[in-house]
Amino acid sequence: MRTLLLALAISLSFAGSALAQDAKPGAKAVPPGVMAQVVLSEQLIALGTARNDAHLLLAAMRLRSDVSDEMPAIGGEVTSDEALDAALAKAVAGNDALTGVAEDVKASRPRAFHPNCFMSGGVRVCY
């Protein structure tokens, strides 16, 4: 367990700076804490998908819900919400308790990335 945590800490330090360097020109700078959350959520998604572990995917989704407003400013490849939803649906299949928790976590997402939201004249409009 200690080895896994040490490896995670080391990879966070390198991955955060790598993603920050890929940021789009003219985009506002992403705070280091937000970058660390995004990197950690990506690692949890990768591990949760590989192990088909709903708990890891739920943790990643919860981390994402705190930083979704910052996601467009982050360069690099970030797992889409649709891909995360699909992996989570596969992991919770047949477990009613985890399915309920997954629905609660999905509902806590900001409306910024809701499919029925769009930007109009610099104003976010949701219907």
Distant-in-sequence, close-in-space partners of 25: CB < 8 Å, separation ≥ 6: none
pLDDT, tens only, 9-53: 555 555 545 554 555 555 566 677 878 888 899 999 999 999 999
Domain map of the chain by residue range? 2-126
pLDDT at 77: 78
Percent composition of the chain: helix, strand, coil (DSSP 3-state, to 5): 70, 5, 25
Give the pLDDT band of residue 64 (cuts 50, 70, 90). Answer: confident
Indicate the DSSP class of residue 73: G
